[in-house]
Amino acid sequence: MSDEVIHQVINRAEDLNKIGGLHGAHRVVIKVGSSLVTNEGRGLDEAAIASWAAQIAALRALGKEVILVSSGAIAEGMKRLNWQTRPSNIDELQAAAAVGQMGLAQVYETQFAKHHIVTAQILLTHADLADRARYLNARSAMFTLLQLGVVPIINENDTVVTDEIKVGDNDTLGALVANLIEADVLVILTDQDGLFTADPRKNPEAQLIQTAPAGLELLESMAGGAGSSIGKGGMLTKVLAAKRAMKSGASTIIASGREAQVLPRLAKGERIGTELIADTPLLTARQQWLADHLQMRGSVTLDAGAVKAVRTGGKSVLPIGVIAVEGNFERGEVIACLDEQGVEVARGLSNYSSSDTQRIARHASSEFAELLGRDADEAELVHRNNLIVV
């Protein structure tokens, strides 16, 4: 690769006129690889996990919301089962994940408790993020946990996963979670210093790329294969994860987890590793992502007050403003929001089925439980974050 091409890649980010980084981020997804939490596969490294807990506590003290995506369950299960090499059979991988997840959750809970931080374990599959109802359920649960000051610790549910529903690696999972909870930044911590112009283990002339636009195709050709026999990912999965995170407006930092106090230093604005910058504003990217995935299943007609609140006030769609319901839709499916003349005002993901919407239309949220005969899912019919104004 020529010096001219390398120079072009390294300096392309300057054209974005945007300063990324962890410093100004409010909501952050942090992914920690297997080699960083399992002492290169020799069992859980409690000292390392204690360090991550302390660093995340420091980020929270700065007012940041943090979601942790952690590998390590299968590696810990291998150690507990006394397996020397990673199995290839799905049933053995599932068994290792089931055994190892117990230890992983216990150590995280213990270490975060030292900082008076409550943790929650969330195990996901790709199906949880592809199905609309389950997508909304996971999203609502994570937002509630963040509001309660809890640190969600997320891993792929390897115990039940199959080839058809697996995410595949936790770099990709981190990007999907970044989209799910509208994160500002995805931080991928690895055992490498960042993205280089070539594999630095093979080419001593390789240069570290400090900043570049996320999604630049040339970056994919620079990335190599898996860097560890313990983890599944490599630099390519990290570059592709950054490309995926970019689509929801999140920039990505790829940095070495071996760097002392890497997270607090990043939060202070220090440049460590590689930053792949998203050039699309978060809100615009979120709306575009929704637009690309929408297939309307029904509609609701809003009164004049609700139309004004949505169009000019940036408000959510509340059931009290609904005067008619059309179509047959389920929770998590897309509906159109119409004015009284039948003109589409907005569209978005419904928090209620059509039958439930008919029950709670023209009613305040305080009445939902009695009308539905159960606890209400949400106060909003369509939350403003899941709404596109037409």
Which has the closest alpha carbon to 196: 249, 234, 250?
234
In the predicted structure, residue 329 carries a pLDDT above the cut 90: yes
Cα of 8 vs its chain's centroid, Å: 30
Tokens of 319: 């059931």
Give the CA angle between residues 67, 188, 158 to the nearest 5°: 70
Interatomic CA distance for residues 266 and 252, integer angstroms:
12
Q: Which domains does the chain have, with CATH numbers?
A: 3-280 (3.40.1160.10), 294-389 (2.30.130.10)
Query: With contact defined as beta carbons under 8 Å apart, do 112 and 53 qualify?
Result: yes
- Percent of all residues in the chain with a pLDDT value above 70, rounded to a whole number: 84
> Tell me: the pLDDT tens digits for 72-101?
888 888 889 999 888 888 888 889 889 999
Query: With contact defined as beta carbons under 8 Å apart, do 167 and 154 qualify?
Result: no
Interatomic CA distance for residues 216 and 272, integer angstroms:
20
Interatomic CA distance for residues 326 and 345, integer angstroms:
15
Dihedral angle of Cα 307, 313, 319, 323, to the nearest 10 degrees: -10
In the predicted structure, residue 223 carries a pLDDT above the cut 90: no
Q: What is the pTM of this model?
A: 0.74
Residue 386: the pLDDT is 85
| 3-state secondary structure (DSSP) of residue 348 | strand
H/E element holding 60? helix 46-61
The distance between the two most distant Cα atoms of the chain, rounded to a whole number of Å, is 69
Residue 166: the pLDDT is 55
H/E element holding 97? helix 90-113
Query: With contact defined as beta carbons under 8 Å apart, do 266 and 255 qualify?
Result: yes
